Structures are given as C-alpha cells and as structure tokens.
Amino acid sequence: MGANYSSTWHEANLSTTPQIKRSQVIAFHSSAKWKLHFDSLKDTNKLVVIDFTATWCGPCKYMEPVINDFAAKYTDVEFVKIDVDELADVAQEYGVQAMPTFVLIKKGEVVDKIVGADKDGLQKKIQKHRAIFI
C-alpha cells in the first residue's frame, strides 16, 4: 500500500512535462499525505479526479478498470483513489454520501461531481474540464 503511494507519487512529481509516461491511479492512505499532494496541485492547471471508493462497494469495483483505462488515456489528468473508510475526514470534507463518487478538482476548487457507476457521464465531464486548458 505504502509502496504504491510512494513510488507513483514520486513519479508524478518527477515529471516536469505534462505527459506522464506511465500514468497510474494514486491511492492515498493518509489524510496528511493527501493534503500535501492536494496543496502541491493547487497552483497547477491540472484536472484532478478523485474516486471515492469502499472495499465492498460493487459499483466501485466495476468502475476500477474503467478508471485505470481513463488514467492511461488521459495522461494529463491526475486520478486519485480514496477509500472512504480509510480517510473518512476527506470523504466528509467533500460531502461523499454514496459510492462511487467522482469529484473533479481544478486549482483546488471542485468543478464537477458525479455519483454512481456512470462511465460515459464521467468521461464526458473529464473531457469537458481537461479541454479547457489544452
């Protein structure tokens, strides 16, 4: 768990160009680390998609490969995974009630939100918000 976080976060930070070679979904297991990462992204134009998930949430499991595909496709977008039971404070901060909830953030502000296993709906929103700065 910690290994995944460290290596991917490190990779993402190392990259100075918008194209990350091997885009991955970053899973956070500590609120403090998430906060730190969130703050580092505040001043960028990068679209951040947080996937609020839970272990035994069926629709979340359905969306997992979808999100992985999106992460590989939209390399200019950052995909973050947060387990609501692990980081309950972060889930509360974003008013997450049902899972999966996808929160789209830009410059530290929530620009969109989608609840449920709506693959097409999420893709449309990603395309809409990432397109602004391309």
Does residue 36 bind other proteins (CB under 8 A)?
Answer: no
Work out which of 47, 77, 96, 105 binds other proteins, going by CB under 8 A.
96
Number of residues that bind other proteins (CB under 8 A): 27
Contact 103, 49 (CB under 8 A): yes
Q: What span, in angstroms and rounded, lies between the C-alpha atoms of 87 and 66?
A: 22
* The two three-digit tokens of residue 15, written as one number: 């990259």
Closest distance to other proteins from the beta carbon of 84 (Å)? 4
Work out which of 54, 80, 103, 122 binds other proteins, going by CB under 8 A.
54
* The two three-digit tokens of residue 5, written as one number: 């976080």
| Known catalytic membership, residue 57 | yes
Closest distance to other proteins from the beta carbon of 134 (Å)? 30
Q: What span, in angstroms and rounded, lies between the C-alpha atoms of 99 and 25?
A: 17
